[in-house]
Amino acid sequence: MTKKPGVGEIQVIARQIRRDIIKMLMISKSGHSGGPLGLADIFASLYFDVLSIDPQNPRWEGRDYFFLSAGHLCPVWYATLARRGFIPIAELTTLRKINGRLQGHPAPPWTHGVPGAEIASGALGQGLSIAVGCALGLRLDKKPNRVYVLHGDGELDEGQIWEAIMTAGHHKVDKLIAIVDRNQCQIDNRTENVMELEPLVDKWKSFNWHVLECDGNDVAEFMQTVRQAQELKGKPSVIIAHTLMGKGVSFMEDDYRWHGVPPNEEQGKQALAELGPTPYGDFVEFDWERQPVEIGVK
Amino acid sequence: MLKYQSRELKATRLGFGETLVELGHENPDVVVLGGDVTGSVKTDLFMKAFPDRFLSVGVAEQDMMGTAAGLAVAGKIPFASTYGEFAVGRPFDQIRQSIAYSRLPVKICASHCGITVGPDGATHQSLEDIGLMRLLPHMTVATPCDYLETKKLVRASIGWKHPIYIRFFRDNTPVFTGESTRLEIGKADTLIEGTDLTIIACGLQVWEAILAEEVLASEGISVRLINMHTIKPLDNNIVLKAASETGAIVTAEDHQMQGGLGGAVAELLAQNIPTPQEFVAVRDTFGESGKGDELMRKYGIAKDDIVKAARRVLARKK
């Protein structure tokens, strides 16, 4: 891509990513629906505007580092990586399949995983420590690269997260931007029923972070908030991005029961109808009279 | 007569701390993480020499391992160090996912390992760490036997491309290895040649085995002694050669019998040259407070236990 797409085009890309997520999950018959759908706008914004990256050279030294701490959200990441050119779009048929690179929870390419992943994630709560360490290392080398890390809100129950929040505040790691997917849902129930997170903004602030909030399903607002965070100095920044779990699929929206299950064929069909086609086209067309046919992956 | 002499008493942890400073001068990418026990594990030496490259993470070992992984992603050479129990037991999942599965060349350096940490009692006596680390794919596991070998091992870890766990100890212990002996990760050293049986020891049990050999030699028993400083990858060749040439094996370690050096040796032998083997190790129990040498005797991992194990294995040898 030679020129960055505008907000309108990123919204269309996000819609296509949602379609890709639904199709991937229908094929794999296993994986997480709600969180990934809610994050399509954020991932499209990050990979088609915010991040300095080179899909042809995922290990490019000048890259911004992106860590997905909540590994189960990977369907949205894989779809985004495919649409951005890190992996072939057709490879999305291989989610969670043997001999594939799209592990159920992500891993880096040197351990069965996917180009663009720097580390493994899946066991929750580990990504922030890694992001802090990476940012500290870059700072020691006086490099300008930024570090982004994305967390689920339920993930914040993990104690290690708060250790890392403390470490980042202590070391004033200001090239670090954490993003919290605040969709209020986790696998068992709504977050505040499982473990109260509020007052979440005050908690991060009291650990010496800059805290910003935005609508994580509003591409323009999210990108503006990121740009604001990039300008903040002296402390790490966190963006509490309020999102709607299952966004774009009426029967999944804001329903925690869609955390960890895929749509069945009928539900998937309805979801695709609600999302509507885009000019980018799907990676596999379903013939509803037959089982989905996989297409070759190079 | 002892085949090796103790030239002085010096702590393995001191060898670690001193070598970090040397490496800090030689390589600007070396960084050290501190978990609030820097004086104990001797990373305070590095902290004073290179304050910018010393990163305190507080008493937060899970975060320490993740931060170390992140530093490795950024191209640094991170050393994460604390007491054995807190370097392994506490952050096992972090080591598994963020370091081992992610295959990042982090150096996890654990001091105060084994029962010889003594008076602190069972909470601080890591007797499971070799087993836990050995279970992890991609992980290298090494444990030096004295101050000098610690220095060589820590230095060798710099060029090692895999995650590595290095296990050492608190107490001042005999320094007996040679200044000029080369150490190669994954290649064990035969300290004494012998034909009747082989003692394969690691860590502080290497010295105990040297003491035991003297007793056995006085009884006319020819003992081969191997210092297995790298437990994973195990030096298969030296073990199989010892099994075929001496036909009897004793393993000795300051660790639970399950999963440690003895287990590694047994797994190899069972698949290749089934050989009578006796284990000198802690037997499925927690420790207690006491002096290091008292505990080694009470929990059956001292010189006399090696001597007895050698006699037992000889009785089983066909």
Q: What is the mean pLDDT of residues A153-174?
A: 98
**Contact list, B69 vs chain A (CB under 8 Å):** 119, 129-130, 133
Mean pLDDT of all residues in B218-235: 98
Q: Mutating which of A126, A138, A171 best tests the B interface, going by the most B Cβ atoms within 10 A?
A: A126
State pTM to two decimals: 0.96
The class of domain A7-275 in CATH terms is alpha beta
Which residues in chain A are closer than 8 Å to B58, comparing Cβ atoms? 163, 166-167, 170
Per-residue pLDDT tens over the stretch A253-282? 999 999 999 999 999 999 999 999 999 999
CB atoms inside a 10 Å sphere around CB A225: 23
What confidence score (pLDDT) does residue A289 get?
Answer: 57
Structural contact between residues B239 and B270, judged by C-beta atoms closer than 8 angstroms: no
Q: What is the mean pLDDT of residues A3-22?
A: 95
pLDDT for residue B278: 98
CA distances from A20 to A23, A246, A277, B162, B240 (A): 5, 14, 11, 36, 54
How does pLDDT run across B78-123, given as a tens digit for each residue?
999 999 999 999 999 999 999 999 999 999 999 999 999 999 999 9
Please name each of the domains of chain B with its CATH number.
Answer: 8-175 (3.40.50.970), 189-316 (3.40.50.920)
pLDDT band at A286 (very low <50, low <70, confident <90, very high): confident
Percent of chain A with pLDDT over 70: 95
Partner-chain contact A108 B103, CB within 8 Å: yes
Residue among A120, A129, A140 whose CB faces B101 most closely: A120
Question: Which chain B residues contact residue A134 at CB under 8 A?
Answer: 70-71, 73-74
Report whether pLDDT(B152) > 90.
yes
pLDDT in tens, B55-67: 999 999 999 999 9
> Which of B52, B73, B102 is the closest to A111 by Cβ?
B102
Per cent of chain A over pLDDT 90 is 93
Q: Is the pLDDT of residue A287 over 90?
A: no
Catalytic hit among B18, B22, B26, B61:
B61
Reduce the secondary structure of chain B to three states and give it as a string: CCCCCCCEEEEHHHHHHHHHHHHHHHCCCEEEEECCCHHHHCCHHHHHHCHHHEEECCCCHHHHHHHHHHHHHCCCEEEEEEEHHHHHHCCHHHHHHHHHHCCCCCEEEEECECHHHHHHCHHHCECCHHHHHHCCCCCEEECCCCHHHHHHHHHHHCCCCCCEEEECCCCEEEECCCCCCCCECCECEEEECCCCEEEEECCCHHHHHHHHHHHHHHCCCCEEEEECCEEECCCHHHHHHHHHHHCCEEEEEEEECCCCHHHHHHHHHHHHCCCCEEEEEECCCCCCCCCHHHHHHHCCCCHHHHHHHHHHHHHHCC
* Distance to chain B for A242, nearest Cα, Å: 26
Tell me the pLDDT tens digit for each residue of A169-216: 999 999 999 999 999 999 999 999 999 999 999 999 999 999 999 999
User: CB neighbours (10 Å) of residue A123?
Assistant: 16
| Nearest C-alpha neighbor of A130 from the set B161, B129, B101, B23 | B101
- B55·A129 Cβ contact <8 A: no
Q: Does the distance separating the beta carbons of B60 and A163 come in below 8 Å?
A: yes
Average predicted confidence (pLDDT) for chain A = 94
Provide the CB-side half-sphere exposure for A264 (13 A, CA).
1
Q: Which residue shows structure tokens 């499982």?
A: A194
CA distance A289 to chain B (A): 41
- What residues of A are in contact with residue B62 (Cβ under 8 Å)? 126, 129, 159-160, 163
Percent of chain B past pLDDT 90, that is, above it, reads 98
Cα A161 from Cα A178, distance rounded (Å) = 11
A167 contacts B94? CB cut-off 8 A: no
Backbone Cα Rg of chain B: 19
Per-residue model confidence (pLDDT) at position A180: 98
* Residue B61 falls in the annotated catalytic set: yes
pLDDT of A97 higher than 80: yes
- For residue B275, the distance in angstroms to the closest alpha carbon of chain A comes to 36
Buried b (16+ CB within 10 A) or exposed e, B275-307: bbbbbbbbeeeebeebebeebbeebbbbbebbb
Q: Is B96 on the interface with A (CB under 8 A)?
A: yes
pLDDT in the model for residue A103: 97
Number of alpha carbons in the 13 Å side-chain half-sphere of residue B219 = 12
pLDDT digits (tens, 9 = 90+) for B230-247: 999 999 999 999 999 999
Q: Tell me, what's the pLDDT at A290?
A: 55
Binary contact (A129, B63; C-beta < 8 A) = yes
Residues of B in contact with A141 (CB under 8 A): 74-75
| Cβ within 8 Å, pair B97-A126 | yes
pLDDT tens-digit map of A114-151: 999 999 999 999 999 999 999 999 999 999 999 999 99
CB proximity B177 to A under 8 Å: no
Longest dimension (CA), chain B: 61
Under an 8 A CB cutoff, do A132 and B93 touch?
no
DSSP A190: B
**A291 pLDDT above the threshold of 70:** no
Residues of chain B with C-beta less than 8 angstroms from the C-beta of A169: none
Structure confidence by residue, pLDDT tens digits, B8-57: 999 999 999 999 999 999 999 999 999 999 999 999 999 999 999 999 99
- The answer to whether A65 contacts chain B (CB < 8 Å) is yes
The vertex-B229 CA angle with B226 and B235, nearest 5°, equals: 70
Asked if pLDDT for residue A297 goes beyond 90, the answer is no
